[in-house]
Every structure is written in C-alpha cells, then in structure tokens.
A and B are shown apart, each in its own frame.
Chain A
Amino acid sequence: MEKRVVFRSPWLPYALVAPQLAVTLVFFFWPASQALYQSLLIQDAFASKTQFVWFDNFRDLFENSHYLASFKVTAVFSVLVTVIGLALALVLAAFADRILRGAKVYKTLLTLPYAVAAAVAAVLWVFLLNPTLGVITHFLARLGYHWDYVLNAGQALTLIVIAAVWKQISYNFLFFLAGLQSIPKSLIEAAAIDGAGPARRFWTIAFPLLSPTTFFLLVVNVVYAFFDTFAIVDAATSGGPVQATAILVFKVYQDGVQALDLNGSAAQSVVLMAIVIGLTVIQFRFIERKVQY
C-alpha cells in the first residue's frame, strides 16, 4: 500500500529517518557485525594475539558437551513454559469468556503479572520456595515432600518454569480472551440449538476457531522462553545447580561476561541469531496466512 499524495523535499525525509538510522547503525548493525566477525576469530583474553579460524569456534561449540546439554535444557524448558502457560491461560480465558458479572475484576487481576519485571517475579518465587524460609516449602514439608531447589536439578528447573509461566500468563490470557470474544455468537447459538453442551461447543467450535491465536501465541511463547527468561534464570538460580538451568541465553552471558571467552560467546550469539531469525520467519509466514483466514 502506498500513498498517492506525497510531500516533496530533497533533504527533509533524510533528516526524519536520521535519528532512528543512527541508533540502529551504532547499536545494532555495528555490534551484530562484530559478533559475526568475532565468532570467526580466536584471541586470548588480552587481545594481544588474534587468529582467523573460520568455523572452528562453531565446531568447538557443537563438540562441547556443556553446550549441547544447554540446548537440551533450553528445549525442555521452553516446551514446558509454552505448553503449561498456554493450557492454563486457555482454561482461564474460556471460563472468563462465560461470565458477565465481575469479568473486569478478574481480567485486571490476571493482567497484573505482566507489570512485574521478570527478575522481580523470580525473586518472589524464590522467596515462596526458599529451601529454609519458603511458605510453600513449609507446606510441602508437611505433606512429606522435601524441596530444595538449590541442590536438586529437577526442582531448580521447576522453579524457573513456575516463575516464567506465572509472568507470561497475563499475556496469553489476554490474547485468548480477545480471540474467544471475536468468535461470532451466532455459531455458538446454532450449536446450542442443536443440543451441544458447553464442553462440546468449546472443543468443536471455539477451539478450532482459536487456532490462529494459538499458533501465534505458540511462536511468541517459544521466543519468550528462549530469550526473555534470562532475568528469571539469573535472579533465581544463576544457571545452577551444576548448569542444570543454564539455558542458551544465559550461557552467552556466562561464557562472555563472566568467563570472558569472547569468541565462544560470539559464536553462541550467532547461533541464537539464527534461531530468532528462523522463528521470526515462521511467525511472518503465519501472519500472511492469518490475513486470508
């Protein structure tokens, strides 16, 4: 789509795009190209010797068992966050769509976690699940379950999944609710006249019609689990115990900022870039389809 009526000026349009382009070039293109270049080099910590090694860093990366383990952790983590987050949000949205009275109050309360910073969300759950003081830990102990996420790898992963799902549930809920509310009432009424109960109507009408929303949220949630959960991991477990919660984004930080392995970290950045680009392409393809839907 293009405008018929346009303004003319030899310099004004350039002046208007200049601020954004300047920021983009300095803080985006330059660092991204540096990451690409660095990933093909090996240098020592003081940058005194630099050697061009082509794809050796990438080969090392994929031969490194820690890195492969991190891939596995990330995969498990993002599947859990996505599936649990979407399922809970869908249940809440389906029931919120049914009621009239008090709907606004529920909606407002359910959107609150969106306001909470990921790092703060992590600290809140760390407090609830603290091995010695935690309110929930105490409750679990009375049920005879021993909880100590500082030592237990599975429990540490559970902790970051809980915090990540809690933080993202508002977003999923709002999109599901908007999707459900845009389903034509006549379809639901027709099914009701034909004798379909609420559960049947949900599974045979609402759920299939929601599939564009569901697919969109699927991609968004995977991206969220891959990248936006850095703060949760860093604030809750710092990747521990023994790398059990070191997801890919956290490893870029750990190897680059803490261990100062610049080239290895740059190679990891490039791998992540490829993943984001892949996910973005999937998302855009889907959006094109949604237009026709």
Chain B
Amino acid sequence: MVERRPVGTLFSHLVLIAGVAIIALPLYVCFVASTLSFDQVTTVPMQMVPGTHFVDNYLGVLTHGTETASKAPVGRMLWNSLVMALSIAIGKIAISMLSAFAIVYFRFPLRRTCFWMIFVTLMLPVEVRIMPTYKVVAELGMVDTYAGLTLPLIASATATFLFRQFFLTVPEELAEAARIDGAGPMRFFVDVLLPLSRTSIAALFVIMFIYGWNQYLWPLLITTREDMYTVVIGIKRMVAGGDTLIEWQLVMATAMLALLPPAAVIVGMQRWFVKGLVDSEK
C-alpha cells in the first residue's frame, strides 16, 4: 500500500474478520450440530460449543443413514458422488482435449461446423432442457446407471475452448520438429501436447470435480433407487417431510461429509482452483 496507517490496516482486518465470521457461521453451526445428540440439537437455543456425539453421528449416517427418514447409508452415497465427480471431470477433459486437438491441428471438411456445434452447447444448461433430456436418457435405458448420471453432463464447450485457446499458443516449431522427426499426430499429442497441458488439466479438473460433485437437478431426476443417490440428493431426501421428525444432527453430519471433499480440493489445490475459475470464463 501507498501509506502506512495502522488504523486503516486495523479497520481492514476488522471488516474482513466480520466478513469471514458471517461466511463461516453456517459452516460452524453445521459442525457443532453434527456433534450433538437429538435432544441437544432440538433444544432452543442450541449450544454453540461442540458436543460429544461426533463419532456416533458420523458412523451412524455412514453405515445406515438416518433413523426416521432415508435409511440409505451415506457411505454408499459418497461413493456415488465420487464416481460421478471423477467421471464428469475426467470425461470432460478427455473428450474436449481430443476434439480441441482435431480442431486446431487438422484441416478437414466440416471443421467449422463441428466447432459451432460444440460452441452452441455453451448456451443451454441442463436446467433449461430437463424434460426432453430425461426422456432421451430413459429411452436409452440409462435411468439409475452411472452412464445416465454422467454422460449428459460431459459435453462441455468450456473445456474445449480452454484447450483450443491453449493449443493455439503452443509454438509452431514444436509441431514442425515433430513432423520432421517423423512423429505422427497421436505421438505428438501424447509426447508434446499432453505434458505441456498439465497445468490447464489440473485447473480444469478442480473446477469440473466440484461441478460434478455438487450436481443437483440431474441426479434428482435420474436416480430413483436409494443405492444410486449422490450425497447431495441424500441430504435433500433427509429433510423432505415433516419438520418435527428431522434428525438435524444427522443431516448436519451428512452435510459436513458432503462439503468436505470439494472443500479439501479447493484448499489443497488453491492455485489451480483460481486459475481454473479465471480461465474457464474466458
């Protein structure tokens, strides 16, 4: 900063601490509630220090869900969420890298058409075309399957664009050298482009993993069996129904389990996360 004013710096810290406190409040209350017993959590006002039922609640939901609402074990749901998030992240990166490679490094008839066909998918999120997409998936017999859960979300113009932009900045000499050395296109892709794209891949992976893990509407439609629920859907099923019977301590334990993996990815891969966020919006 230009001038050093201790009062100004102190004020900045105070504003930020207030901001962080408000932002973190729901997360903290969630954690505290997840360590209480049913009686403690339904006492008004709820205590603000963690209780002693941490192990009971977490083990309980992981192995056999809630007592009164959904009995589906959350362990299974976490597995489903992981499969979904990884398939979407890896699938998106794989198919968009390949198509971006074709569009940048080849001249072929219909190249522009392919490009535009991929481009327009940017414009329509799943929310806008839910019913017809659901019908297509149902007709293909993919309700309650991992394929049905992930494939419709894999098409992504964002990732294709990102890789296209990146490939365009790769020096011409590299491809030239590869051709002179007699390397075919796939050899060039694997030995040159793939290693160069490492940071872009890491950045996209973070964003797409979180995107996949946090999906809501699509798994809500496409999963009807409890053993196919993702953890986000599981939480929704736990709170649907009568207000008095909700076991909030178990719901909050499940919420903690649902938000920890993506939070860990963001904190652990902070650098790539910010890069991915900024890049994927260009």
A45 CB within 8 Å of chain B: no
**Which residues of B from 1 to 29 have beta carbons under 8 Å from A?**
1-3, 8-9, 11-13, 15-16, 19-20, 23-27, 29
A209 CB within 8 Å of chain B: no
Q: Decide: A3 near B24, CB < 8 A? Known: A27-B133, A123-B239, A189-B2.
A: no
B190 CB within 8 Å of chain A: no
Closest to B46 in A: A135
Q: Is the CB of B239 within 8 A of A235?
A: yes
Q: Decide: A7 near B25, CB < 8 A? Known: A99-B12, A230-B127.
A: no
Q: Is the CB of A252 within 8 A of B130?
A: yes
Q: Is the CB of A35 within 8 A of B168?
A: no
- Chain B hits for A231, CB < 8 A: 216-217, 232
B236 CB within 8 Å of chain A: yes
- Chain B hits for A234, CB < 8 A: 216-217, 220, 236
In whole Å, how far is B33's beta carbon from the nearest beta carbon of chain A?
7
Please choose the segment from B55-63, B67-75, B93-101, B197-205 that sits at the chain A interface, where 4 or more of its residues have CB less than 8 A away.
Answer: B93-101
- Chain B hits for A6, CB < 8 A: 105-107, 175
Q: Is the CB of A92 within 8 A of B118?
A: no
A242 CB within 8 Å of chain B: no
- Chain A hits for B11, CB < 8 A: 95
Q: Is the CB of A117 within 8 A of B216?
A: yes
Question: Could you say which interface size class chain B belongs to?
Answer: 35 or more
Closest to B167 in A: A3
Closest to B103 in A: A17
In whole Å, how far is B159's beta carbon from the nearest beta carbon of chain A?
9
A174 CB within 8 Å of chain B: yes
Q: Decide: A227 near B117, CB < 8 A? Known: A16-B98, A124-B30.
A: no
In whole Å, how far is B124's beta carbon from the nearest beta carbon of chain A?
6
- Chain A hits for B106, CB < 8 A: 6-9, 12-13, 16
B136 CB within 8 Å of chain A: yes
Closest to A270 in B: B128
Question: Could you say which interface size class chain A belongs to?
Answer: 35 or more
Q: Pick the contact of A126 from B123, B176, B239 — CB < 8 Å?
A: B239
**Which residues of A from 107 to 152 have beta carbons under 8 Å from B?**
108-121, 123-128, 130-133, 135, 138-139
Q: Decide: A20 near B118, CB < 8 A? Known: A115-B266, A124-B255, A133-B42.
A: yes
Q: Is the CB of B24 within 8 A of A21?
A: no
Q: Pick the contact of B216 from A17, A31, A118, A280 — CB < 8 Å?
A: A118
- Chain B hits for A13, CB < 8 A: 102, 106, 108, 111
Q: List 27 A-B contacts (CB under 8 A).
A: A3-B168, A7-B185, A12-B106, A20-B96, A21-B114, A23-B154, A23-B155, A26-B136, A28-B121, A34-B136, A38-B131, A100-B1, A106-B16, A109-B20, A113-B23, A114-B210, A114-B266, A117-B213, A121-B26, A123-B255, A126-B239, A133-B248, A174-B277, A231-B217, A234-B216, A256-B130, A256-B131
Given A131-B243, A252-B130; 5 other pairs, CB 8 A cutoff: A7-B106, A23-B155, A26-B136, A119-B236, A124-B30
